[in-house]
Amino acid sequence: MRWKKATLITALAIGSNVVQGILAPLWNYGQPYIDLPLLVTILYASRYPSAEALFMGWVTGAIQDLTPGGTLGVNAVPKLVVAYTVLTLEEKIEIQELWPVQMALLVFYATLSGTIGYLCATRLFQREVEGGLFSINFLFSLLINPLVYMVLFQLPLRKGKSAPLQKGE
């Protein structure tokens, strides 16, 4: 991996976790509704489909795990799996222009990350998770994360593209 990409990945991972840490007190009991590190991982994996995306997922989750009270692997493993899933699906289908498919996949990624994180925490590390999989925070995050992703990452990128020419122009 080139040093520039490694530096970019580390900066994105640290930056998304810093913003997540700053915003966390705004949410109920410090449980995040919006998982910015997950969204940045999905963005990186979809924009730069390569092995570095797996590194991005792992580093982003590991930084999240290293915060006080975290358990190493609870966030790193789900983000690694989500990065791999994004890479695999991006190779199979072209979703950049299909908004409904893109939204469905974003909900799927958030569900996959939350479920794997919950199973890692409860089964592997014997850590109690308040509310479980069907907590209000988790269910709300399945709705809000795809919307935030579209607003923060997709709409600004679309506005930068020029409109296609009409017939006769």
Q: Provide the sign of the torsion angle of the four alpha carbons 144, 11, 80, 100, taken in this order.
A: positive
pLDDT tens digit sequence for 127-169: 665 555 666 667 777 778 888 888 888 776 666 554 443 444 4
Phi first, then psi, for residue 99 (nearest 5°) are -60, -50
User: How far is the C-alpha of 77 from the C-alpha of 130, rounded, in Å?
Assistant: 20
Contact criterion met (CB below 8 Å) for 118 and 132 = yes
Question: Whole-number mean pLDDT of the chain?
Answer: 76
More confident residue, 57 or 117: 57
Our CA dihedral for 158, 162, 167, 169, rounded to 10 degrees, sits at: 170
Compute the average pLDDT of residues 110-115: 80
Please report, rounded to a whole number, the percentage of residues in the chain having pLDDT higher than 90.
7
pLDDT band at 106 (very low <50, low <70, confident <90, very high): confident
Section 76-93 average pLDDT = 84
Give me the amino acid identity at 3: W
Distance CA 157, CA 150 (A): 10
Domains of the chain, by residue range, sit at 3-156
pLDDT bucket at 58, cuts 50 / 70 / 90: very high
**Maximum Cα interatomic distance, the chain, rounded to a whole number of Å:** 65
- Return the higher-pLDDT residue of 89 and 133: 89
